[in-house]
Structure 1
Amino acid sequence: MGAYNKQGQLIRVVQAAREKAADSRKKEEQGGGRQQQFASNDNDNLDAKKDVEIPPETARDHAPFPMNRTFISQPVLTSALQHHIWRQIIHEGKSVREVSAEVNVEMSRVAAVVRLLEIEHEWKRIGKPLAQRYHDAVQGMLPKTDWAAPEWDAEHGEFAKREKPNHESINDLPVHAATGQQIFLPTSESRHFTRADAAKVFDKRLLPADDRVPHPELTVMHKEVLEGLSEEERRERAEARNAVAERKRAAALALQAAKEAAIKKVDTGRWEYRFTEIKVDDAGKDGRGLGATGWRYGAPLMDRSRGQHKIPRAV
């Protein structure tokens, strides 16, 4: 609604037609030719002129409420981009972090897209109807971030490079609760005070900002660019980091599979019982170790005893 005037004309098209008319008058004045009269009121159907191209959208065109210009409608992901994210994670086996850096979409949104598409595919499998018309209508009214697959370049024998979609900022630093206070720390002028030192001032266990961002690998890549490394060296370092991350992920998956294989499962049709081998030594000397069978069957709780701290003193 904010993109149109009272006559139902696109404001950016009307302004573009006026600017074009003003340029034409200036050229005619400079050339000494006959001026052509143009009306400047809103009643002129300037956007109906075929020689005026539609300018690109601006922030004003994304304001749905005329009385609230501060509210800007944010873009949504198209179905093509959502299915691309889903295929990269489900079929290609990529991590949420990798896909987020590839399509410039926040990691929480990437995970939400995968969950919603899994529900959609499950509904299709069981024959549950989808509100596709409503989905198409809403998609037609909102600004969108689209995804187009890279085209094959037959001349060079490879896929042509395409720009990544610019949907949102993906590396914003989350505000930690420990950094909400204001601290004045006297230090020497000759001391090299880094972000890691600043994090230790707020909390001894607080990581520096470079490690707390959602994509620390992008920070490392930017530092390598500032160091003046060549593209080949940066690519080799990135491949080495990806190989280390892949080995860690494979080891974690193997450990999880080993834990699942160690569990004995008995399916009775209605219930599934799971039995795990437990050692007595896992409970520790006091019987309260993390490897114990549980607080219900171990030593009794001490929360009613005198001298016990019921409020945690460290988080």
Structure 2
Amino acid sequence: MIVPVLLVAGALGAGKTTLLNHLLAYPDGRRIAAVVNDFGAVDIDAQLLGSVTEEVISLKNGCICCSLQGDLLRTLSSVIKRDPAPDAIAIETSGISDPAEIIRNLMDPVIFKVAPLETVVTLVDPQRLRDDPSVADDVLWRSQLRAADFVLLTKSDLLDRAALDEARALVGRVKPASSIFEIARGVVAPDLLFSRDIRAPRTAPRQLPVMSEPFATITWTSKAPLSLDRFQQVIGKLAPRTLRIKGILLFTEHPAQPILFQSVATRGTLAPSPVPPADGLTAQLVLIGREGELDADQIDALLRGVIID
């Protein structure tokens, strides 16, 4: 079983625990295990999250980007072996952690094979940027941004438009505007954090609070022969228009090996899939983007270019 990993980064007080609390309270049908890195000897964040779920593991009195590297990998290995295993693992870093180092640790071949890093989100408190714009020049803060697939501006309900636009401008020095989102009270659309299971329907979730930004989903399937080379060219055009793409495909270049494709923002991977597309298909793709920015006809036309006549 493959268990995807979500990495939640950000400075102290940015809202990481609030986001994780909401994710655990409204898991969208997923069993989520949370790994929390409290730098101090008292694991306050883990205690807060433990009030929502029992699936919380604390790594305390150290930083998982340095002194607790081994503890993190051992913890992930242990979590994966649980019965039942979680559907996903969310890791909350300490505010002083550099995600780049943690990402390198998560690329350990043994761990990545069963618990691949799927999404990295960095949270930013816009009010802190307004109070102290020099934060934007901090080396660690910029590293946290660079490591992210998506940047979430938190506490947006407490600030006026001008403050949010100022924060967007400062973050925009490091990240493209398409990767920046505004959230309130930790509410984030699950599709921004985790890919949908291509083959199985979701369990009906509990009623979710209203999301701060609407998302659209497009599904594309085919039974025609497909070209891997053309697919890679098409994805290069689709990636800037989408937030996430996931799919299982069969290409004529590798007829006996189904391929799992995943992309988050502009970061994409191709890997062998343990299962083929369902129902005799050669392609099952799910594309997620901002509402109003996905044109189904244009996407269909582009993907039809992958078909070998």
TM class, shorter-chain normalised?
under 0.3
TM-score by length of 1: 0.24
Q: Which has the higher strand share?
A: 2
TM-score by length of 2: 0.25
Structure with more contact order per residue of length (Cα contacts < 8 Å, sep ≥ 6): 2
